[in-house]
Amino acid sequence: MNFDYTDKVKGMQARLLAFMDEHIYPNEARFFAEIAENRAKGNAWIPTKIVEELKPKARAAGLWNLFLPHSPRAPEGLTNLEYAPLCEIMGRVPFAAEIFNCSAPDTGNMETFERYASEALKDQWLEPLLRGDIRSAFLMTEPAVASSDATNIQCSIVRDGHHYVINGTKWWSSGAGDPRCAVYIVMGKTNPDAPKHAQQSMVVVPANTPGVKVIRPLSVFGYDDAPHGHMEVTLTNVRVPVENLLLGEGRGFEIAQGRLGPGRIHHCMRTIGSAERALALMCQRLNSRVAFGKPLSTQGVWHERIAESRIMIEQARLLTLKAAHMMDTVGNKEARAEIAMIKVVAPNMASQIIDWAIQAHGAAGVSDDFPLAYAYTNQRWLRLADGPDEVHRQSIAKMELARHLALTPQEIEIPVTRGC
């Protein structure tokens, strides 16, 4: 067991940290100012100039498409274990991952295309995604049902000759607000009479297909996350060729389990970076402020919180790295317990540390003068995104019980879940 990163990863960490210091932290205020300026002009849903300016620099620095392992179309892709510490660094700034073409939901969609799509679909959609020419969205969650149980999904995918006809309403379709979003991967039911986990399928839908309508952006604690966005989308008699179905009818759960595992752990990697930044800001604030005649950093309650923050971060990082290692060596299915555990641990850990950092900043902590309020909302919604805590805890409990009781494999399957 080796608790040190390889020389290759250490070198990439150094390059990435230097890139963050030179290009990303100094432009953080500009990013949000651009969005505010675009909003004031009447349209916040356009790409920011600063992100587009930095993408060629990231590519030139060899910091592009780092997330996709074992793909001949992205030879620069790293293993999950190699990618983890780099993804963590990206997580310190909300928009950083896009600069390296490593942002959700594109990473999960690219992995889905790579693992499950035909070569024709890869040529059509994966290649421009890898180049960063387009963006994408994943349409699974629905407003009318509890999507924490994906068997509830009502969107219909019906075969009609050489086409599938899709009807349904989706929401929390992250990325669908971006005008560069050119393609959706949609989960729906092809056969409601099939066995419970063989009813669903996934299909590729070009965003400009007739019948697709983006209804509205949804806000997260008041933030609309423009120009990325989380959109409500309706699909009305949307027709796509049968070749757009991924893997085959009734295999949507199989794809979802393969797709959501990497997506969940990427979220957790970025979450650790967010927590690290919050702890750093907390310590800087405590060292710089005096109350009741002495620096805040000398007061005992803050010693407790700082120590607990460091302990929590290290625990979460070790579990994340273990999950990443297992995904690389024994596969996502065998790592399902670790993936579920880190999905519970990481956002709860970060939410608490960011909350303490806000407390250290006083009223300033809830303003947009510091990144903490926005970071807190991201971690709070992450306890719902890709499945609520309760569903993952249930899965962990069932796997633990399976060590001692005779449970069937179906009773301990990793959940396919997206929000509530």
Q: Which candidate, 244, 231, 133, places its Cα nearest to that of 185?
A: 244
**In the predicted model, what is the mean pLDDT of the chain?**
94
Taken in order 355, 361, 362, 366, is the CA torsion positive or negative? negative
Evaluate whether 384 touches 351 at the Cβ level (below 8 Å): no
Average pLDDT over residues 15-29: 98
Strand partners, 136: 183
Residue 416: pLDDT band with limits 50, 70, 90 = low
Give the per-residue pLDDT at 1.
74
Q: How far apart are CA 27 and CA 322, in angstroms?
A: 34
Residue, of 374 and 2, whose pLDDT is higher: 374
Would you say residue 406 has pLDDT above 80?
A: no
Residue type, 288: S
Residue 264: pLDDT band with limits 50, 70, 90 = confident
* pLDDT tens digits, one per residue of 137-158: 999 999 999 988 888 999 999 9
Q: At what angle do helices 80-90 and 300-329 cross, to 10 degrees?
A: 150
Backbone torsions φ then ψ of 154, nearest 5 degrees: -110, -15
Give the per-residue pLDDT at 414.
57
Residue, of 261 and 81, whose pLDDT is higher: 81
Strand partners, 185: 138, 204
Burial class (CB in 10 A: 0-12, 13-18, 19+), 314: exposed
Give the per-residue pLDDT at 411.
58
Give the per-residue pLDDT at 412.
57
What are the residues whose beta carbons fall under 8 Å from the beta carbon of 10, sequence distance 6 or more? Answer: none
Burial class (CB in 10 A: 0-12, 13-18, 19+), 12: buried
User: Domains of the chain by range and CATH?
Assistant: 7-131 (1.10.540.10), 135-247 (2.40.110.10), 253-412 (1.20.140.10)
Element (H, E) at 16: helix 7-19
Give the per-residue pLDDT at 259.
79
* pLDDT tens digits, one per residue of 100-128: 999 999 999 999 999 999 999 999 999 99
Evaluate whether 287 touches 321 at the Cβ level (below 8 Å): no
In Å, what is the CA distance from 26 to each residue of 15, 35, 88, 279, 307?
16, 16, 19, 20, 29
* pLDDT tens digits, one per residue of 30-81: 999 999 999 999 999 999 999 999 999 999 999 999 998 888 999 999 999 9
Give the per-residue pLDDT at 381.
95
Helix, strand, coil % over all residues of the chain, rounded to 5: 55, 15, 30
Half-sphere exposure of 255 (CA within 13 A, CB side): 31
* pLDDT tens digits, one per residue of 321-346: 999 999 999 988 889 999 999 999 99
Would you say residue 226 has pLDDT above 70?
A: yes
CA angle 295, 300, 301 (to 5 degrees): 100
Q: How far apart are CA 312 and CA 308, in angstroms?
A: 6
Give the per-residue pLDDT at 177.
93
Q: Are strands 200-206 and 163-174 parallel, antiparallel or unpaired?
A: unpaired
Q: How far apart are CA 250 and CA 191, in angstroms?
A: 7
Provide the terminal-to-terminal Cα distance of the chain, rounded to the nearest Å. 38
